Amino acid sequence: MSRIAYVNGRYVPHAQAQVHVEDRGYQFSDGVYEVCEVSGGFIIDRTRHLDRLDRSLSELAMAWPVGRDALGRIMIEVTSRNRVRDGLVYLQVTRGVARRDHPFPPPGTPTALVVTAKSTDRRAFAEKAEKGVAVITVPDNRWDRVDIKTIGLLPNVLARQQARDSGAAEAWMVDEDGMVTEGAATNAWIVTMDNVLVTRPAENGILRGVTRATALEAAAKLGLAVEERGFTVAEAKAAREAFMTSATSQIMPVTSIDGAPVANGHPGETARQLGRAFFGAAEKIAVAGSLSLEKR
């Protein structure tokens, strides 16, 4: 089955999906995005993703491309048309098409919207989570407003490529004070020897991860102790466990950092517990064959 994309009001074959050469996302990275997990025929935590989209648009003085409810229906429709049961739905909003100039385009220029969806291999993901993954650490050289989910991701791209070249799955970024901020595409967590979960506060230094927020709720339901504070690379390497969270990796155990094993080099029980409890805490929006906004 050929894939279908939504581009500025039209559902088109993925291979024919196009944006204008003077779209400001293409020329200036003047746009924002969201990625939602799809699991078992449900879009996960859509409300939180749309809340974060609203914040990103507001911070950049950018208008919604369509109404919020309409965008929610488009996400369901694209996911359904692509028959995605397990996978990802991606949406991107840019400031639109205008003659190339750094200042904002004239008032009334419509923002541009693209939505796509694709299937992922749930079994391969489970096998990776069972073994855990490696991360490396790199200097955090991004701009200060990483709390806005913009499409300007070149430092993240370079960090993730450095990780791949090193045989790792992710790069954890480290600030000038030696504290881990977050991964190139994930939030970073450790579990101390006292069995306390630690993750950096969701301030301007990191993105407010949606999966992170749901994982915090799952941890509370499990009665796990949590501290929102920074931690050093040395503390992470000496931790009982480490893991990372995102819509694309959910709750993924980290078993080595910069080539050194975390604890015994195997996924820990806390990450496993959170993985099992995650969907019980998450919002689930039904997809299959319907434009219904029913919540399950």
Pairing of strands 133-139, 250-257: parallel
Structure tokens at 121: 């291999």
Q: Where are the beta strands (DSSP E) in the chain?
A: 4-7, 10-13, 31-39, 42-44, 87-94, 112-119, 133-139, 170-174, 180-183, 187-191, 196-199, 225-228, 241-246, 250-257, 260-261, 284-286
Contact 35, 114 (CB under 8 A): no
Strand partners, 250: 246
Is 71 within 8 Å of 34 (Cβ atoms)? no
Whether 149 is catalytic: yes
Torsion sign over Cα 14, 92, 48, 191: positive
Q: Which conformational region is residue 46 in: left (phi greater than 0), alpha (psi within -120 to 50 degrees), or beta? A: alpha
Residue 270 and residue 293: Cα distance in Å, rounded?
A: 33
Helical packing angle, 46-59 and 210-222, nearest 10° = 140
DSSP three-state, residue 107: coil
The answer to whether 182 and 206 are in contact (CB under 8 A) is yes
Torsion sign over Cα 207, 210, 211, 216: positive
Q: Provide the token pair at 67.
A: 């109404």
CB 160 within 8 A of CB 71: no
Chain-centre distance of CA 86, in angstroms? 16
Looking at 118, 131, 149, 284, which residue is catalytic? 149
Catalytic residue numbers, as ranges: 149
